[in-house]
C-alpha cells in the first residue's frame, strides 16, 4: 500500500505522518506522509519543470498512457474497491461501482486526447484567416473530496493528462490512500516524472493559498463543498487563476402523480442511497404529488428498510459507514433538528450507539419549510414533502441556492421534459437514479459550481483557446 508523497517521480517522506482511519471501527489503516512547505515547493518545482516538455508530447503518447492506466485499474478493480471501502466506509457494491466509474475516465480521456478540434476560416470581411487552436493551460492544482476518492481524482487527472497539463493532486485528508494508489497506477502506466505530483499538506488552507499566489500555477480544479469553493475562488482571484468548481448539491426530486412506482422506487433508491447518501448528487429533497403520495411513501419506507448497515467490506452490507464520526454526527444533528421542527420519522432517525460512523436508513415526512431541506444531508436520509400542482412542485424544487442535479419521475415524457426544462440545475435525470457518465458533462449551476467535468467539455477545463489572425 502506498502511503508516501509523490514528487518528481519519487515516493518520498514528508515533514511527518498522519493516521488514516477505518470509519467502521476507528482503527488506523495506515500512517501517511504529510507535506511541509519544502515538499509543497518541491512539487511546484517538479510540475513546473516538466510542463513545457509535457505540453509538447504527442496526443497519441498521452492517450496511450491513459489507456494503459484504464487497463491497470480495470484489472485491479477489486483491490481498489477494497481500499476505497476501508478508508471511506462505503459498502463494497458502491466501492466496486466507483472503481469501475473511476477507470472509465481514463478510457474516455484516452479517446478524447486525440480528438481536440480547432477551427480555420475566412473572416466575415475577408481581410484575414481566423485560426483557433487549444493549448494546455499548464500547471494545475487538483483538489478532491473524500466521498469519491477514486472517481474525483481520475475525473481530473484524465483530462489534465489528455490536454498536456502537469499537476499537483491534493486528496482529502480522510482518504489519501486511494489517491496514492491511482498515482501509482499512473506511474506504472508510464507517466513521465514531474507530470503528476501528490501532496498532503498538514493544513490545506495555508498551503493551497500559497500555491494559488505562485505565478507558476495556472489552473485550479476543485471538487468539494460550496463553502470551501467560495474561499478558493477568492484566493484564486488575486492572480486571476482559472478555476473549475464542482461544488455541493441538494438535489431535488419531483415525483409526478402519473409516475410508475415500479420504476420510480428502485431508481430513487439509487439516487438516494448510492454511497450511503454521501454524494453531491444524492436525492435530498423529495417532492411527491398528492394523489400518489401515500402509496409512494409506504413503498419508499419499505424499500429503505431493506438496507443492511455494517462494515463496508462485509459481504452482506449494503449501507456502509460515513467517513468519520464528525460527518456521521452532522447527519444526526440535521435529522434531530428536522424532528424538532415537526418532521415525522417513518424509519430510522436514531443515531446508533457504539463504535463506527454509522447512521441508519431514515425516511421522514416534512412540510415545505422544514430546515432539513436547507442542508446538504450527505447521509441515508430521505425527507419527503407533498405538493399539489406541477407549478408548485417546480417552485419548491428550485427554492435552493444549489443547482447540481434534479430527478423527475413521470410516465409522460412530454411532462417530464417540461419539468426538466424548468429545473434550475446543470443536470436532470428523467426516470433514472444515476446519470453520471464519463462521456457526459457533469456540473452545476447556481452555487453548485462553475465548469463541467467529463463529456466533450471536460478536456477544455485544462485547455485555453488561442486565436491566431493571419493576413492572406
Ligand atoms: P470539503 O470540506 O470542501 O473538502 C474538499 C477538499 O478541499 C479536501 O481535499 C479538503 O482538504 C480541501 N480543503 C478544505 N479546506 C480547504 C482550504 N481552505 N483550501 C484548500 N483546500 C481545502 O468537502 P468534503 O467534505 O471533502 O466533500 C464533500 C463535499 O464535496 C460536498 O459538499 C459534496 O457535495 C461535494 N462534492 C461535489 C461534487 C461535484 O462534482 N459537484 C462531487 C463530490 C463531492 P482536507 O481534507 O485537508 O480538509
Query: How many angstroms separate the CA atoms of 269 and 296, rounded?
Result: 12
**C-alpha distances in angstroms, 167 versus 73, 200, 280, 412?**
20, 14, 24, 46
pLDDT reported for residue 457: 97
Phi-psi category of residue 277: left, alpha or beta, with phi > 0 → left and psi -120 to 50 → alpha: left
Residues of the chain within CATH 3.40.309.10 domain(s) are: 251-401+405-430
249 lines ligand 1 (CB under 6 A): yes
Q: Give residue 232's pLDDT.
A: 98
pLDDT for 169-204, tens place per residue?
999 999 999 999 999 999 999 999 999 999 999 999
pLDDT, tens digit, 9 for 90 and up, residues 441-460 = 999 999 999 999 999 999 99
Q: Please give the pLDDT value at position 159.
A: 98
Which residue is it, cell 475516465?
105
Contact 169/142 with Cβ under 8 angstroms?
yes
C-beta 208 within 6 A of ligand 1? yes
Q: What is the pLDDT of residue 395?
A: 98
Binned at pLDDT 50, 70 and 90, residue 242 comes out as very high
Answer whether 136 contacts ligand 1 (Cβ < 6 A). no
Contacts 24+ apart (CB under 8 A), 292-299: 292/255, 292/257, 292/259, 292/261, 293/384, 293/386, 295/261, 296/255, 296/259, 296/261, 296/264, 296/265, 296/384, 297/346, 297/363, 297/365, 297/384, 299/261, 299/265
Where does the pLDDT of residue 165 fall: very low under 50, low under 70, confident under 90, or very high at 90 and above? Answer: very high
Q: Which residue has the higher pLDDT, 359 or 472?
A: 359
Residues of the chain with CATH 3.40.605.10: 5-248+446-471
Superfamily of domain 251-401+405-430: Aldehyde Dehydrogenase; Chain A, domain 2 (3.40.309.10)
Phi and psi (nearest 5°) for 16? 170, -160
- Per DSSP, what are the bridge partners of residue 309? 319
Is residue 104 part of the annotated active site? The answer reads no
Q: What is the mean pLDDT of residues 247-262?
A: 98
Fold that domain 5-248+446-471 belongs to in CATH: Aldehyde Dehydrogenase; Chain A, domain 1 (3.40.605)
Residue with the smallest CA separation from ligand 1 atom 6 is 145
Percent of the chain topping pLDDT 70: 100
pLDDT at residue 231 in the model: 98
Catalytic residue flag (residue 111)? no
Distance CA 54, CA 166 (A): 7
Decide the pairing of beta strands 251-255 and 283-289. parallel
Any ligand 1 atom below 6 A from CB of 224: yes
Q: What pLDDT sits at residue 421?
A: 98
pLDDT tens for each residue of 257-291: 999 999 999 999 999 999 999 999 999 999 999 99
- What pTM was estimated for this model as a whole? 0.98
Q: What angle do CA 224, 96, 453 make, to 5 degrees?
A: 35
Tell me what percent of the residues of the chain surpass a pLDDT of 90.
Answer: 100
CA 181 to centroid of ligand 1, rounded, Å: 20
pLDDT value, residue 185? 98
Confidence band (pLDDT; 50, 70, 90) for 301? very high
Amino acid at each position: 500500500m502506498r502511503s508516501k508523497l509523490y514528487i518528481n517521480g519519487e515516493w518520498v517522506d514528508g515533514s511527518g505522518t498522519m493516521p488514516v482511519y477505518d470509519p467502521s471501527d476507528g482503527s488506523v489503516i495506515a500512517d501517511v506522509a504529510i507535506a511541509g512547505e519544502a515538499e509543497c515547493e518541491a512539487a511546484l518545482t517538479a510540475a513546473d519543470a516538466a510542463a513545457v516538455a509535457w505540453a509538447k508530447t504527442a496526443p497519441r503518447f498521452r492517450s496511450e498512457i491513459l489507456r494503459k492506466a484504464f487497463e491497470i485499474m480495470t484489472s485491479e478493480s477489486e483491490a481498489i474497491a477494497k481500499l476505497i471501502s476501508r478508508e471511506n466506509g462505503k459498502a463494497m457494491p458502491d466501492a466496486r461501482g466507483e472503481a469501475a466509474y473511476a477507470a472509465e475516465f481514463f478510457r474516455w480521456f484516452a479517446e478524447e486526447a486525440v480528438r481536440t478540434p480547432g477551427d480555420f476560416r475566412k473572416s466575415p470581411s475577408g481581410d484575414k484567416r481566423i485560426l483557433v487552436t487549444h493549448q494546455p493551460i499548464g500547471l494545475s492544482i487538483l483538489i478532491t473530496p473524500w466521498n469519491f476518492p477514486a472517481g474525483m481524482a481520475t475525473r481530473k487527472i484524465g483530462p489534465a493528462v489528455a490536454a498536456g497539463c502537469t499537476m499537483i493532486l491534493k486528496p482529502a485528508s480522510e482518504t489519501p490512500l486511494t489517491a496514492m494508489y491511482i498515482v501509482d497506477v499512473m506511474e506504472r502506466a508510464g507517466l513521465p516524472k514531474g507530470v503528476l505530483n501528490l501532496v498532503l499538506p498538514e493544513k490545506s488552507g495555508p498551503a493551497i493559498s500559497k500555491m494559488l499566489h505562485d505565478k507558476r500555477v495556472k489552473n485550479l480544479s476543485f471538487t468539494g463543498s460550496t463553502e470551501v469553493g467560495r474561499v478558493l475562488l477568492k484566493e484564486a482571484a488575486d492572480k486571476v487563476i482559472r478555476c473549475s468548481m464542482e461544488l455541493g448539491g441538494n438535489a431535488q426530486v419531483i415525483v409526478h402523480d402519473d409516475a410508475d412506482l415500479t420504476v420510480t422506487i428502485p431508481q430513487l433508491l439509487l439516487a438516494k442511497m448510492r454511497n450511503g447518501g454521501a454524494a453531491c448528487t444524492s436525492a435530498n429533497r423529495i417532492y411527491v404529488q398528492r394523489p400518489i403520495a401515500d402509496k409512494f411513501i409506504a413503498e419508499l419506507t419499505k424499500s429503505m428498510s431493506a438496507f443492511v448497515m455494517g462494515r463496508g467490506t462485509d459481504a452482506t452490507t449494503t449501507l456502509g459507514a460515513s467517513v468519520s464520526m464528525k460527518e456521521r454526527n452532522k447527519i444526526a444533528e440535521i435529522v434531530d433538528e428536522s424532528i424538532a421542527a415537526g418532521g415525522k420519522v417513518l424509519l430510522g432517525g436514531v443515531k446508533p450507539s457504539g463504535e463506527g460512523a454509522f447512521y441508519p436508513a431514515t425516511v421522514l415526512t416534512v412540510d415545505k419549510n422544514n430546515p432539513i431541506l436547507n442542508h446538504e444531508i450527505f447521509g441515508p436520509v430521505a425527507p419527503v414533502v407533498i405538493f399539489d400542482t406541477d407549478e408548485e412542485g417546480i417552485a419548491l424544487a428550485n427554492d435552493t441556492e444549489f443547482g447540481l442535479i434534479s430527478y423527475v419521475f413521470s410516465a409522460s415524457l412530454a411532462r417530464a421534459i417540461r419539468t426538466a426544462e424548468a429545473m434550475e440545475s446543470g443536470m436532470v435525470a428523467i426516470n433514472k437514479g444515476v446519470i453520471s457518465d464519463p462521456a457526459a458533462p457533469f456540473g452545476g449551476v447556481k452555487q453548485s459550481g462553475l465548469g463541467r467535468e467529463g463529456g466533450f467539455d471536460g478536456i477544455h477545463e485544462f485547455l485555453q483557446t488561442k486565436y491566431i489572425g493571419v493576413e492572406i
